[in-house]
Each structure stands twice: as C-alpha cells, then as structure tokens.
Chain A
Amino acid sequence: MKIACLYGRGDVFMGMTITEKILSAHAGGKPVRPGDNIWVDVDVLMTHDVCGPGTIGIFKEQFGKNARVWDKEKVVIIPDHYVFTADPHARRNIDILREFVKEQGLRYFYDVGTANYKGVCHLALAQEGHNRPGEVLFGTDSHTCTSGAFGLFSTGIGNTDAAFILGTGKLWVKVPETMYFEFNGTFPPHIMAKDIILQVIGDIGVDGATYRAMEFSGSAISKLSMEERMTLCNMAIEAGGKNAIIQADETTLQYVKQRTDKPHAIYRSDQDAKYFCKKIYNAGAMESVVAKPHSPDNKALARECEGVKLTRAYIGSCTGGKITDFKAAAQLLKGKKVKIETFIVPATRETEQDLHKEKIDGESLMNIFINAGAQIGEPSCAACLGGPKDTFGRTHDMEVVVSTTNRNFPGRMGSKQSQIYLASPYTAAASALTGHITDPGKFFKEPSHATNH
C-alpha cells in the first residue's frame, strides 16, 4: 500500500475530482476547490421515520404551518427503522409522516402496511430509481453516503438541515478534499466489498476521512456489482467521510436505466485533479477482515480471530442485507445447519422476494436459510441499531455476534454488554456454521461468482 499526500493548500487551481465537479454544477457552475463554502441546489431529499417527524416539526416552525415543500417530486420518504414494533411513539411517528405526505401531496412515500412498502431506505433509493449519476442527494441518515456508488454526491444530514432543504431546496456545503483509493487486479473469490471497506477503515481509522470525500477506483472496483459498490460506499461514514463516490460506468447505467428514465450526468475526475492522498491496493492480496468490538476500525483478519466463540450471527441491513449478500451466505449454508442462532433480515421487499426467486441448485435462498435453521425477519433496519425492545434480532444480554451490519459501538445492537464483530456475509455464514469466527476462504475450493450479481 502506497500513501502519497498530493494536496497542498498553496497549489494553483487545476482540475477537479468527481465530487468537486458535481458540487460545482449544483452551485452555479463556477469551479470549486476544497474548503469553499457553497450553497448547492438539491436534487433529492430523503427522510425516514426516525428523523422525518423532527424534520417536519422544524420545517413548520421555521416556514409556517401552511408552508409547502420546495418541490414535491424531490422529497422521498421511506419508513424503515421502527416499523414492526408495538412501541406507541414509533407508530405515532409513522402517522406524522403519513399526514405530512397527504398534506403536501408528496409523490414518493413507501408506507409500511401497504403494497408500496420497501424497507431500508438506502437500498430502496437505489431500487426505486432515486439514485441518479451526477445528482446531489441528502438524507437524514448517516449511511446516505451509500448512494455515492452511483457517481452522485450524497451525504447524511440532521433534521435542521433537512428542514432547511424542505423550505428552500438548498443547503450550504463545505467542499471536501478527496481521498483516492485504488484497487487493482482481481479480488479472491471469498472477498466481498465488506472486507474491502473494513480494511480501508482499519487502515485510516474511524476519523481518517473526516470532512473528506472517499473516491474508490481501479480495475477491481469496476468489476464490482452495484450492490457491492453500495456496500463499499455505505461505510465511508465509519471513517468519518462526508461522502463516498465511484465514477458511474456501464454497470451503473445498466442498473439505473432499468429503474428510472430521468436524466443523469456522468462526471469523471480530471487527470490533474488534486487529491488529499492516494492509496493503492493490490486486490489479489486481500484477506477476510473483521472489525472487533467496539469500533469499526478495530481491524483483524478473520483467521486471527478463530478463537472467538459466538452466540449469534446476523445477516441484514443496508450494509449486508442485499440479495448479493444473501446469495453469498446461502452458498455456504446450503445443505448445512447453523451452530448458533442466525438471523436473516432482507433489507427490502424486493430483496425478500428475490430470496424466493434466487435458487442454488434448484433450492431457493429462503429455503436454504430455513433448512439451515436460520430465523427470517421482515425487511427493515431491525437490530442493526438495536431499536425498541421488541425489535427482531436485538441483543438483550451478553451476546457475541458476528454481523454484516455497519457499526459495533457499545450497545449498538441493543445491549451494552453484547459484543459485535463486523464481517462480510461469507464470514458471517462460515462462522454461523462453526460457532466461532471463521475465515470463509477455507470453504472455497474453486472460484465463486456470487459477488458478481
């Protein structure tokens, strides 16, 4: 791995990165450079049941009871966090969203309890065609950086900023410096995007990208599917990153065109763009990585943690609950029984339907999981962030969990006493079969193509 610090504040302004170009185009078209504070025009604002009610409250307080949103086609509301709970406050919060959608005549609302329900917002945004290259997307969720996989600028914001956008369609942004991560060659068959991002976070630390963009590139990245690219971008926030970005290509356009016919723009970083630093990785040398409790940068190789006994495996969330993730897990679980309680939570309804449709040797993924002894939950954020006491898969005691989710902070999945090891779906499935952290590499006798979905 090489590190080169290339960006100097005294440099003469030259080329721009993808992130800088998108921000420039949304701030009147003048060139921008890192450190500039600019007002950008917003293409999409996404909110959900946890932060939507607070956002709506501030919007009404600041713009008036009868205020209208700046553009009812550009607001996307996706209840996904606390949707299958008896908690009366959580249920009330979804009612607040319903009332607001009705009052404002919003077009994009994926309400729970209807045929239109989707599930986890970051995957739903992609599947419903809201992620379009070249756009600016804000969301009241830190993992909004996931959408950068589509070559757009996306980042998480709070209720106040979201309320400001609802009223004005604009937001101030400090143009971030960009860190460049290049992966060349071919990843070994048992390596998934989750391993790549845990490796990067382990290398730079949980504040290693604070205030910066993380641009992923290289021949190995361009071979990744959209779902894998989303996993990679999803955890940029775990390094403190403002946004993650991958240049849109044929893979992107193929996915986007199936889901929306709205226009888009592809931006490429200039040859002479300035980067804060460049890190070059050899994809072929990657190994399965875990993040030990209680920090996403507490990196270790899976094979170094084989002594860690587990009580639970959890496969789900925006990070690790997509069909690519389940295909990988099912590949290892097929025809076998799990040794520890194993929770499967598809991110969205589409993913859940795909669990029935996708088959390995004639057996659906759903049946593979059920026959292996796993429990299947409804599509939602579920126990990724703990949540109300009756949340599916939530920890309540001293559980030791291998999880495909994104955070292992103390108490993140519910109980402060539980311990979470973040890992790829392959590692989680391999570990579910053995009852301890297990490097999935040993299950691969011949190359697999599960990550090329």
Chain B
Amino acid sequence: MQQIIEGLAYVLGNDIDTDQIIPAEHLVYSLSDPEEKKNYGRYSLSGVPPARAGLPKGEQPFIRDGAWQSEYSIIIGGRNFGCGSSREHAPACLQIAGIKVVVAESYARIFYRNSIDGGFFTPLETVGSLINEVCTGDKLVVNIEAGTLADITSGKQYSLKPLGDVLEILKAGNIFEYAKKAGLMPVSK
C-alpha cells in the first residue's frame, strides 16, 4: 500500500454512479486479458455528462481522444461516490486508467468494498466536501499515513478520515492476501 501519492486531481460531483464510471455497453471486455482490459481504461468515466466532467469548468475529458490512460491519478468526489451497480469493472477501470487514490466525501458500500477487497486503489474519505475546493488539474499530495491531502496548486491542506477496520485488508493488498494471513485460505495455490 503506497503511503504517499502525488498526482493531478480530477474533480467530480456528488452521486457519481457506476454507469457514469463505466457505461454498461462496455462491460463486455475481459478483465483477465491484459490487452483487452485496456479498453476499460479508455472508456472509464465516459458516462459522465460533459458539463460535469472535470469540475469546476467541466468539458475536461478524463481520457483524451485516442488515449488508453488518464493524465490524472487522483479523483476528488463528493457524496455517495460509486452508487448503483455492483460491477467491479467500475473500480477496476479507474485503476486501469491510472488512478492511484479516490478521495470522496462518502461512498456507496459495494463500490467501496470492491475497491478494497480487489485491491484496486485506496478509497479515502474527506471530513467535508472538497469538490468546491480542489480544481481539476491541481497538483495534489495525499499522505495516507498522516491522513492529509495537500493541494500544492492552491497551497491548502485538508484532513482525511482514518481508514478504520479495512486498513488491514488494504495493507495485505486484497481480500485473498488478508485471508491467507488470517488463516482462512491456504497459502499455496
């Protein structure tokens, strides 16, 4: 688990649902095939209405035309991030696009759980909403251990909520590694 993550922010609003994160028509690609799964990066966040893509300005594509990954590596979201479907393609596509951490005010529980159990990225929660504080393109430094988010562009610093019970799974890497440590799953394949 990476403790310090630096990168550019991509800011989204409240209630970002899984159909916006990865529209259902794209759920046909293999998640095991290394080449085919690149499509999930290409189409990640393609369901976000353009006016709300990359706040505050909007109309800022997460993936540039023809690209497979995003130039942004940190998502700032509002309330109820990842609501809707249980599709694990949602956290997976963000990881495939190059996202290292999502920082939101709150999460829908299946998305949150999938992010952790699948080891896609660390879903962090803010104390208040940051969607009107941080701008898309701001340079950020997230320090997970210290529980802070520094916006280098604006010079402001924010506190993050502690990870709590799920920290052990995140530290192990995913639910399988955690279960092996806890003796709930055989270590050898």
Contacts and interface: CB of A to CB of B under 8 A. Distances in A.
Interface residues of B, number: 43
Given A158-B114, A161-B114, A409 B28 contact: no
Given A53-B30, A64-B189, A295-B15, A158 B106 contact: no
Contact of A416 (B49, B107, B110, B189): B49
A15 to B, nearest CB: 25
Interface in A146-180: 155-161, 164, 167-168, 170, 172, 174
Given A159-B88, A410-B47, A240 B30 contact: no
A158 B117 contact: yes
A206 B88 contact: no
Contacts of A140: 86, 88
A159 B31 contact: yes
Nearest to A35: B165
Given A156-B110, A164-B176, A409-B19, A207 B79 contact: yes
Contacts of B165: 37, 174
A93 B28 CA distance: 7
A82 interface: yes
A158 B113 contact: yes
Nearest to B119: A160
A410 B117 contact: no
Interface in A345-397: 385-389
Nearest to A171: B175
Nearest to B16: A409
Contacts of B107: 210
A387 B23 CA distance: 8
B24 interface: yes
B184 A168 contact: yes
A64 B188 CA distance: 9
Contacts of B86: 51, 139-142, 144, 156-158
Contact of A210 (B31, B108, B174, B175): B108
A158 B110 contact: yes
A414 B19 CA distance: 10
B28 A87 contact: yes
Interface in B65-120: 79-80, 83-89, 91, 106-110, 113-114, 117-118
Contacts of B122: none
Interface in A28-65: 37, 39, 50-51, 53-54, 57, 61-64
A264 to B, nearest CB: 25
A158 B108 contact: no
A122 interface: no
A414 B30 CA distance: 21
Contact of A170 (B47, B109, B184): B184
A168 B49 contact: no
A160 B106 CA distance: 22
A89 interface: yes
A211 interface: yes
30 contacts: A53-B32, A54-B32, A54-B89, A57-B31, A63-B189, A140-B86, A140-B88, A142-B85, A142-B86, A156-B110, A159-B31, A159-B88, A159-B114, A159-B118, A160-B114, A160-B118, A160-B174, A161-B114, A161-B117, A164-B117, A168-B185, A170-B184, A174-B165, A207-B106, A207-B108, A210-B108, A387-B24, A388-B28, A410-B47, A410-B48
Interface of A: 37, 39, 50-51, 53-54, 57, 61-64, 81-82, 87, 89-90, 93, 139-142, 144, 155-161, 164, 167-168, 170, 172, 174, 206-207, 210-211, 237, 240, 242, 295, 385-389, 407, 409-412, 414, 416
